């Protein structure tokens, strides 16, 4: 498929697709007339990029993983991949902890504000916000 259809398939702009190409993440076939053709391999790579981006991987990390994937299987490649995933898992666990705490705080804040009780509970609400902020500073979010 051509770039416009490929971009639409993944709900992206053609500029984003071109950027991914420029960064070496996507490698479409180029026809003699200059048109790019995106095949099943490009589709699989795009799905990989989208999923990893959603998980918080940077484009540089994704590029590194794609580079490792193209190398022959080796203990070194395996160790690098496992280390990168371990680091990301730790970060996601920290974020999950933060969001669980934040969700509880927001639910409590909603309760404290219900039925026009904001003014009465304003200090408690400010304290909950301060707690969430401190969690962010501590690296939990």
Sign of the dihedral through C-alpha 5, 33, 16, 46: positive
CB proximity list for 113: less than 8 A, separation 6 or greater: 121, 125
pLDDT the model gives residue 1: 94
Beta-sheet pairing, 29-30 with 36-37: antiparallel
**Residue 20 buriedness (CB in 10 A; 0-12 / 13-18 / 19+):** buried
Res. 141: pLDDT tops 70: no
Tell me the C-alpha distance between 63 and 56, whole Å: 14
Indicate the CATH number for domain 1-62.
1.10.1660.10
Q: 95 or 15: which carries more pLDDT confidence?
A: 15
Spell out the domain ranges in the chain.
1-62, 71-141
Per-residue model confidence as pLDDT tens digits over 22-47 = 999 999 999 999 899 999 999 999 99
More confident residue, 9 or 116: 9
Separation between Cα atoms, residue 55 and residue 96, nearest integer Å: 12
Q: Is 34 left (phi over 0), alpha (psi -120 to 50) or beta?
A: left
- Whole-number pLDDT of residue 18: 96
| 3-class secondary-structure state, position 37 | strand
């Amino acid at each position: 498929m051509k770039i416009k259809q490929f971009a639409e398939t993944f709900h992206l702009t053609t500029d984003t697709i071109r950027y991914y190409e420029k960064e070496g993440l996507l490698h479409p076939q180029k026809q003699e007339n200059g048109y790019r053709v995106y095949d099943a391999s490009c589709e699989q790579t795009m799905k990989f990029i989208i999923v990893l981006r959603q998980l918080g991987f940077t484009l540089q990390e994704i590029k590194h993983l794609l580079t490792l994937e193209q190398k022959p299987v080796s203990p070194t490649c395996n160790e690098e991949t496992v280390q990168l995933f371990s680091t990301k898992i730790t970060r996601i666990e920290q974020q999950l902890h933060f969001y669980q705490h934040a969700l509880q705080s927001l639910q409590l804040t909603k309760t404290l504000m219900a039925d026009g009780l904001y003014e009465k509970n304003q200090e408690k609400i400010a304290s909950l916000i301060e707690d969430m902020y401190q969690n962010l500073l501590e690296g939990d979010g």
